[in-house]
Structure 1
Amino acid sequence: MIELLEGRFIKTFIVVMEEKSFSRAADKLGYVQSTVTTHIQLLEQVCKQKLFHRLSRGVKPTAAGEKLLKYAYQFVQLGATIEDAMNEMEQPRGTVYLRMQESFFLTRFSSFMQHFGKEYPEVKLRISSGFHQDILDQVLEHAIDFGILPRDPKRNDIVFYPLVEEKLIFIASNTLMMDVETEGVSRLNKEILISFGSICLYHTHASKALKEAGIQVKDAIELPSLEMIKQSVACGIGFALVPEVAVQHELDAGTFKVLPLCPESYSMHGLIVHKNRELSHPARLVKSELIKPSALNTRM
């Protein structure tokens, strides 16, 4: 089979999987749609399997297509690794793909990226945002080089490198804090918990801490960004559990107050990588720089 595979067919297959449409894949790749169709047909001939169900609107992968995806990512990554190896004799260059929570990027990684970019200008960092499970899934599928998670997934096929411990705090508006000081923490039973949703481990932390405190909030709101959560808390819509570093400026300015809920919560963020992934030279540089003790603590 290997002598019949072409890298462009594999790349086209990956984009069709991601876009769930031949036409959108063609637009993204700069092809006409017939070229995408031909690439997939030839790949299906090589695999001797149908890879997509053609629907009225887009396509859906078959079981064979789903199975091929992991190996397609590995195929593309191997090609990038070979190219990077050839470039190691010169200045390191290449692309490294990472996925992390938005709040971690804003509070920790953006400064690291700026510093790293000055040291290695030919290494491009491609960052996407997500939450625990989808970050883990992308690492397991070899779709990305690294993920950054707020806790160790404790899997035999994943290597976890501790990076930085974050203190998690419940924040509230000044008005809500005054009510809590007057009525006690039971006042929170009448309030709304604001979070990224149940897919985020911060939500899990919050639910556990509130349960231990005997609090059952009346409702919860899911918001997609840290800034939206902060604005909602500031407006008095509810309260939220966030990394302390993410709201330090607002705490110093008196915009938020820390709710007196015990015990304190901490989250150990770490870099994850598939144990069988062959890291490119640029990826090894990213890892070595990130796991330095001062990498994320001093550039905030």
Structure 2
Amino acid sequence: MLETLEGRSLLTFLTVLEEGSFSRAAEKLGYVQSTVTSQIQLLEQSCNKKLFHRLPRGVKPTEAGEQFALYARKFVQLGYSLEEALENLDHPRGTMRLGSLESFLVTRMSDFMHSFFTKYTEIHLLLETGFQADIVEQIQSHVLDFGIVPVDPKKEDLIFEPLIEEEMIVVASKNLARLIENEGWENTSGIQMIGFGSRCVYHTEGLKLLNEMGLPSGIRSTGFASTELVRQVVTCGLGVALVPKITMAQELAEGSVISLPMPRKVTFVHGIVRHKKHVLNTPSKVFYRALIEYFSNRTSIEPI
């Protein structure tokens, strides 16, 4: 039976069922009535069952017809879904969910976001900003399709693909840097660590590094909600911060902040992370591939 079924005849069957009449179904479909009659007869021959009772005023489905309708609707819906999926390959549309550190979005993603969503106007982004632990948890619970994090979470259920190695620097305002150079960390009172708070992975590494540089342990640290606030507070001379070099590129060029000498190089490898068992929809797949290609083609930064 399966080899004799075709979508056109099933659509005709469902239209007859809906209209309760061969003539009204033919009018709705733009067919002559004989075409509708012929298609229904072919279906009845294929399943070897009568599908409609022919009545003086229209038709009524038989028991076999009612059963046939259940599967005809599924067949037609599957066909529409297949048609939409194939169309999405050329014109993807729908919603995707991404999580990322706010600082990475601001410094690394603005050009990509602009070009991507200018090209794919029917893809909609639900964006969550947060710390690494939050993003990893949301990916594991399938709240997010994928995320961008600064450290490989090394979880068995997750896949991590590196995007870019981020060079970190310790920065201070010009005046504070001069004071530290002349007086030493131990004699410079009131220095605090500026960052995004204790839940940020930069924070832990920053405290460790500053202790190695001579800053006494137990110093006060202050967390701010945005990259812009961190930049302003450091520039004003209220403290020092461990930040991606790109974050303070403008201030470094202007000379308003200074990169302090560090005892060792510090880097974070930002990458895209997703759940092994999470099935990405078409918009998410398109975004995922485009993002990896974008970073692999960046020549102005040091690749992994």
Q: Fold conserved (TM > 0.5)?
A: yes
The alpha carbon displacement at 1:182 in A equals 1.2
Query: Aligned ranges for residues 147-158 of structure 1 at < 5 Å?
Result: 147-158=147-158
Q: Secondary structure at the match of 2:256?
A: coil
User: How has the CA–CA distance of structure 1 residues 263 and 187 changed in structure 2, closer, same or farther, with 3 Å as cutoff?
Assistant: farther
Query: Aligned ranges for residues 11-90 of structure 1 at < 5 Å?
Result: 85=85, 87-88=87-88
Q: Contact 2:163/2:295 (CA < 8 Å) preserved in 1?
A: no
Q: Secondary structure at the match of 1:292?
A: helix
Q: Which amino acid aligns with 1:96?
A: M
Partner of residue 138, structure 1: 138
Distance 1:178 1:193 in 2: 17
Q: Deviations over 1:177-218 (max 9, x none)?
A: 111221234456741001111110000110121233342252
Q: Secondary structure at the match of 1:109?
A: helix
Partner of residue 271, structure 1: 272
User: How has the CA–CA distance of structure 1 residues 299 and 91 changed in structure 2, closer, same or farther, with 3 Å as cutoff?
Assistant: farther
Larger Cα-atom Rg:
2
| TM-score under structure 2 length normalisation | 0.67
- The percentage of aligned residue pairs carrying the same residue is 38
Q: Contact 1:100/1:129 (CA < 8 Å) preserved in 2?
A: yes
Distance 2:300 2:110 in 1: 9
Distance 1:89 1:178 in 2: 57
Residue-pair matches, total? 220
Q: Contact 1:84/1:281 (CA < 8 Å) preserved in 2?
A: no
Partner of residue 200, structure 1: 200
Q: CA RMSD in A?
A: 2.3
User: How has the CA–CA distance of structure 1 residues 280 and 216 changed in structure 2, closer, same or farther, with 3 Å as cutoff?
Assistant: same
The alpha carbon displacement at 1:223 in A equals 1.0
Q: Contact 2:164/2:295 (CA < 8 Å) preserved in 1?
A: no
Q: Contact 1:203/1:241 (CA < 8 Å) preserved in 2?
A: yes
Partner of residue 52, structure 2: none
Distance 1:281 1:293 in 2: 18
The alpha carbon displacement at 1:99 in A equals 0.8
Partner of residue 239, structure 1: 240
Are 1:91 and 2:91 counterparts?
yes
Q: Contact 2:89/2:282 (CA < 8 Å) preserved in 1?
A: no
Partner of residue 22, structure 2: none
Q: Which amino acid aligns with 1:132?
A: Q
The alpha carbon displacement at 1:260 in A equals 1.2
The alpha carbon displacement at 1:96 in A equals 1.2
User: How has the CA–CA distance of structure 1 residues 136 and 83 changed in structure 2, closer, same or farther, with 3 Å as cutoff?
Assistant: farther
Partner of residue 17, structure 1: none
| TM-score under structure 1 length normalisation | 0.68
Q: Secondary structure at the match of 1:113?
A: helix
Distance 1:259 1:296 in 2: 31
The alpha carbon displacement at 1:293 in A equals 5.9
Q: Contact 2:185/2:214 (CA < 8 Å) preserved in 1?
A: no
Instruction: Structure 2 unaligned segments of length 5 or more: list them.
Output: 1-80
Distance 2:144 2:255 in 1: 40
Distance 2:119 2:300 in 1: 15
Q: Contact 1:195/1:241 (CA < 8 Å) preserved in 2?
A: yes
Distance 2:113 2:84 in 1: 20
Q: Contact 1:93/1:122 (CA < 8 Å) preserved in 2?
A: yes
Q: Secondary structure at the match of 2:293?
A: coil
Q: Which amino acid aligns with 1:95?
A: T
The alpha carbon displacement at 1:295 in A equals 5.4
